[in-house]
Amino acid sequence: MSSLITSVRGRRVWDSRGRPTVETEITLADGKTGRAIAPAGASTGSAEAVDRRDGGAAFGGYDVQGALAAVNGEIADVLAGREVCDQAALDAALVALDGTPNKARLGGNAIVATSMAIAHAAAAAQGLPLWRYLGAGREDYFLPLPEVQIFGGGAHAGRRVDVQDFMVIAVGAADYAQALEWTAEVYRCAGLLMNEAGLLAGVADEGGWWPAFGSNEAALDFLLRAIERAGYTPGQDVAISLDIAATDFGRKGEYTLARDGRRIDSEGLAEMLLGWLARYPIVAIEDPLAEDDAAGLRKFTAAAGDRVEVVADDFICTNAGRIASAAAQGACNTALIKPNQAGTLSETRAALEAARAAGWHSIVSARSGESEDVTIVHLAVGWGAKQLKVGSFARSERMAKWNEGLRLAEALGQGGGRLAPRQSFPWGRK
């Protein structure tokens, strides 16, 4: 079946931080359309596809007129008349057109919105929901286990605490819907506890409670109490996961813990985190050391990788080659997969396949700057990623994703909310 692209339109829309972003809409000869919106990060890895911004005075320099001109000009010209169902060829054409290693010329935001819009249009052309189009050939669909922020810190909360994400994973939940129910109770109870302690001060960038704590450990203690207050057994029912986002406060093996008022080296940070792993029911820890600290990541993975997910975000930037090399050197054991770090869906898919080939898990992830776009939920389900990370359990740019998962579970029919088996996670093998 042939479905040719007749028009490609880039329009400026607004993200969850109130900043401009790129939406691409693709129209086919038969009138079907597909559209997608580029997200944006705040704690970015240096090897990410470039989020192209105009600079200047308007909107704090965050305007995207240059990226939109690329979509409406060069990109539209290259895609016009092409077959929409050949994602690989169209993504390759976008990469070649850009011509830079990091998509700086056209803009990673222009390219990722377009690449995702192509997939939406192709699915529409075939009369399939996106997850099924992406999962072509697969039969064993399951839902990703939600990893949900309860307190937001680091760059998302004015560095109020050093750790960026204090999250929970409902490791004991029977299915996706129950994982959301348990998470909702923990989120609510964390708010109640904050209120009782006089610490309630709104929410951070991704909807997690604003971390008005005196130390990183105080946040961990509160999280533990919130799980208990909600009636769950920490570790058994609901476990803790952290994104340290250490690239934000460390360089060349030196780390500055602003909240704890300390400077420590790579070994000191690793020791502190291993101490947390011993004292708290933590099952996943992301970017425990900075992106330039491969030796530290190797040592940390050797010490903890048998029982927790050591998640690589900034270190691999959703890049297949980087994942293969990280795995070969024993640094980390789980890949965070963010389409806008790679720039195209084909490269994102290649990163996920590289993780799989290395025996790693994959966590499909949103960014701190998000929108109503739910493409990543379809990627997670279609491509069989075991986990999904989209920020907290509040604000509609986050809830849009969690809720889309409920719809996909229902679309899968009886037992459709099934999660990947517990034994397939490092914590389930303990």
Residue with CB nearest Zn ion?
313
One-letter amino acid of 347 = E
Q: Give the single-character DSSP code of 143.
A: B
CA-to-CA distance for 182 and 146, rounded, in angstroms?
A: 11
Q: How far is CA 402 from CA 90, 176, 305, in A?
A: 30, 9, 28
User: Catalytic: 401?
Assistant: no
Q: Which does 355 bind (CB under 5 to 8 A by kind): ligand PGA, Zn ion, none?
A: none
Angle at 240 between CA 235 and CA 246, to 5 degrees: 145
**At closest approach, how far in Å is the CB of 245 from ligand PGA?**
5
Q: Which of 240, 249, 253, 360 is nearest to 297 (CA)?
A: 253
243 binds Zn ion (CB under 5 A): yes
368 binds ligand PGA (CB under 6 A): yes
Nearer to ligand PGA by Cβ, of 3 and 318: the residue is: 318
Helical segments of 197-292, H only = 216-229, 266-279
Helical segments of 74-159, H only = 76-79, 87-98, 108-125, 130-134
Give me 148's structure tokens: 């949900």
User: Catalytic: 267?
Assistant: no
β-bridge partners, 12? 22
Report whether 228 contacts 234 (CB < 8 A).
yes
**At closest approach, how far in Å is the CB of 371 from ligand PGA?**
13
- Interface stretch with ligand PGA, choices 23-31, 107-115, 225-233, 363-371 (CB under 6 A): 363-371
Q: Which of 41, 35, 34 is nearest to 15 (CA)?
A: 41
* Residue from the set 44, 149, 301, 362 that interacts with ligand PGA by CB under 6 A: 44
Q: Give the single-character DSSP code of 53.
A: -
41 binds ligand PGA (CB under 6 A): yes
**At closest approach, how far in Å is the CB of 333 from Zn ion?**
15
313 binds Zn ion (CB under 5 A): yes
In the set 185, 206, 309, 347, the catalytic residue is 206
- Interface stretch with ligand PGA, choices 38-46, 109-117, 407-415, 418-426 (CB under 6 A): 38-46
206 binds Zn ion (CB under 5 A): no
Q: Which does 347 bind (CB under 5 to 8 A by kind): ligand PGA, Zn ion, none?
A: none
Report whether 412 contacts 177 (CB < 8 A).
no
**At closest approach, how far in Å is the CB of 243 from ligand PGA?**
5
Site for ligand PGA in 286-325 (CB under 6 A): 313
Nearer to ligand PGA by Cβ, of 3 and 164: the residue is: 164
43 binds ligand PGA (CB under 6 A): yes
CA-to-CA distance for 171 and 91, rounded, in angstroms?
A: 36
**At closest approach, how far in Å is the CB of 122 from ligand PGA?**
27
* Binding footprint of Zn ion, residue count (CB under 5 A): 3
Site for Zn ion in 282-301 (CB under 5 A): 286
Q: Which of 382, 374, 430, 426 is nearest to 169 (CA)?
A: 426
**At closest approach, how far in Å is the CB of 84 from ligand PGA?**
29
Nearer to Zn ion by Cβ, of 22 and 332: the residue is: 332
DSSP assignment string, 295-351: HHHHHHHHHHTTTSEEEESTTTTT-HHHHHHHHHTT--SEEEE-HHHHSSHHHHHHH
- Interface stretch with Zn ion, choices 45-53, 214-222, 242-250, 352-360 (CB under 5 A): 242-250
Report whether 366 contacts 167 (CB < 8 A).
no
**At closest approach, how far in Å is the CB of 346 from Zn ion?**
23
Q: Is the dihedral of CA 385, 390, 392, 397 positive or negative?
A: negative
CA-to-CA distance for 195 and 316, rounded, in angstroms?
A: 38
Return the residue matching tokens 């291993």: 274
**At closest approach, how far in Å is the CB of 21 from ligand PGA?**
13
367 binds ligand PGA (CB under 6 A): yes
Residue with CB nearest ligand PGA?
41
Nearer to ligand PGA by Cβ, of 367 and 398: the residue is: 367
In the set 32, 103, 338, 389, the catalytic residue is 338
Residues that bind ligand PGA (CB under 6 A): 41-44, 164, 243, 245, 313, 365, 367-368
**Active-site residue set:** 206, 338
